[in-house]
Amino acid sequence: MKRNLCISTAVSVVLMAGGPVAVAAAATADTARTLVPAVAVQADVTAEGAAAAAVKHYPGVVESLDKDGDVWHVDVISKDGKGHAELEVSASGTVTEQNRDTDENAAENKALVAAKVTAEDAMKAALAAHPGQVWSVSWDDDEDGDAHTWDVEVRSPDGKTWNAQVDHATGKVTQSGSADGDGNDEDGDN
What residue segments make up the domains of the chain, in order of their start? 2-40, 47-179
Residue 95, CA atoms < 13 Å, CB-side half-sphere: 19
Instruction: Name 75's bridge partners.
Output: 64, 86
pTM, full prediction: 0.69
Q: What is the pLDDT of residue 78?
A: 95
CATH topology of domain 47-179: Nuclear Transport Factor 2; Chain: A, (3.10.450)
Report the pLDDT value the prediction gives residue 179, as an integer from 0 to 100.
Answer: 63
The pLDDT value given to residue 14 = 42
* pLDDT at residue 59, rounded to an integer: 96
pLDDT of residue 143: 58
111-148: buried (b, 16+ CB within 10 Å) or exposed (e) per residue? bbbebebbbbebbbbbbeebebbbbbbbbeeeeeeeeb
Judge residue 168's burial from the number of C-beta atoms within 10 Å of its C-beta, 0-12 exposed, 13-18 middle, 19 or more buried. buried
Q: pLDDT digit of tens for each residue in the chain (190 aa)? A: 455 544 455 445 444 455 444 434 444 444 444 444 433 344 589 999 999 999 999 999 999 999 999 999 999 999 999 999 999 999 999 999 999 999 888 888 999 999 999 999 999 999 999 999 999 999 987 655 556 899 999 999 898 999 999 999 999 998 777 765 444 444 333 3
